[in-house]
Amino acid sequence: MEKTNDKRLTNAALLFVLMIVGVMLAQWWMAPSYSLTNEQVLEKIDQEATLVLPYQLLSLNEAQARETTALFLMEESQLSTPAFKQLLFVPFGEILSDKKLSKLNKNEPILIFGKTETQAMMALQLLVSKGYTQLRAVANDLDVNQQLLTHGFDPATAQTKTEKAAFDYGRFFKTSGGVNKAAGPAAKIPAAVEVVKTAGGCS
């Protein structure tokens, strides 16, 4: 390694690692600010019980409510909610503004009420990606929750959420047989991805 050619190899190794360091610096400079990776966000929203169903909302006891911040994704709300620690009204489009975020504690329970269930869940997902750890979103749209909190327990809505089949699709919507006009031309997406394993190594 002390000859010119040996040094060239050492320099090549140095160049290689410096190139990687350069890519890492570029990555840190260019990457948007997130606290969790996309995969971690998916794991969190998929595996944790993030959605509060109507019967769970009704059974929220006073002690729990007093520790929880209710975040309403609207200017104001007439919902007669339990006595939460604090009520915050932030329109959906402004939830990531620094001024609004400063009012939320990353490690305290936050319950999100949206105009729609999907809006509440999107807000939850974005806040999870920013590092908020104890977030839950209220299921269903505002009118359902309005009715629930006004009238109390209703078996028809006790376990509902919008992400459920509302109709018996198969009875009305035939997707096979007949003139399959809707199937269109050749498939535009591969049916699956074949993983090819290759051997390697050198002697």
Partner 1 sequence: MGPLIPQGFVNPDLNLFFAFVIGLGFGYVLEQGGFSNSKKLAGVFYGYDFVVLRVFFTAAITAAIGLLLMSYLGLIEYDMLYINPTFLWSAIVGGVIMGFGFILGGYCPGTSMVGAVIGKIDAMFFVIGMLIGIFIFGSFYDTFMPLYHAADLGSLMVYDSLGIGRDVFVVALTLIALAAFIITRKIENNVNGITDAPKGLFHRSYTAPFAILLALAFLVLFLPDSPSGKWFEKDAKALLEEAAAGKQYISTEEVAYKLLHPTENDLVLVDLRSSDAYSRFSLPAAVNIPLADILKNTSKQRLESSKGKLVLYSYSSTDADQAWLLLRRNGFDNVQVLEGGLNGFFAHFFNEKAGETEKDQANLFSERFKTRAEDAFKTGEAAQKINAKASPVTTIVDIVPPPPGKGGC
With binding defined as CB under 8 A, does residue 14 bind partner 1?
yes
| Separation between Cα atoms, residue 155 and residue 91, nearest integer Å | 31
**Rounded least distance, CB 191 to partner 1, Å:** 8
Beta strand ranges found along 109-196 (DSSP E): 110-113, 135-138
Which of these segments, 55-63, 79-87, 103-111, 126-134, binds partner 1 (CB under 8 A)?
126-134
With binding defined as CB under 8 A, does residue 8 bind partner 1?
yes
With binding defined as CB under 8 A, does residue 178 bind partner 1?
no
With binding defined as CB under 8 A, does residue 152 bind partner 1?
no
With binding defined as CB under 8 A, does residue 199 bind partner 1?
yes
Which of these segments, 35-43, 63-71, 77-85, 102-110, binds partner 1 (CB under 8 A)?
35-43
* Edge-first strand listing for the sheet containing 86-89: 51-52, 135-138, 110-113, 69-72, 86-89
With binding defined as CB under 8 A, does residue 172 bind partner 1?
yes
| Separation between Cα atoms, residue 26 and residue 100, nearest integer Å | 30
Binding residues among 41-60 for partner 1 as defined by CB under 8 A? 41-42, 45-46
Give the number of other CB atoms < 10 A from CB of residue 146. 15
Which of these segments, 64-72, 74-82, 92-100, 105-113, binds partner 1 (CB under 8 A)?
92-100
With binding defined as CB under 8 A, does residue 166 bind partner 1?
yes
- Listing DSSP states for 26-86 in one string gives HHHHHS---SS-HHHHHHHHHHS--EE-HHHHHT--HHHHHH-EEEESSS---------SE
With binding defined as CB under 8 A, does residue 71 bind partner 1?
no
The residue type of 106 is: K
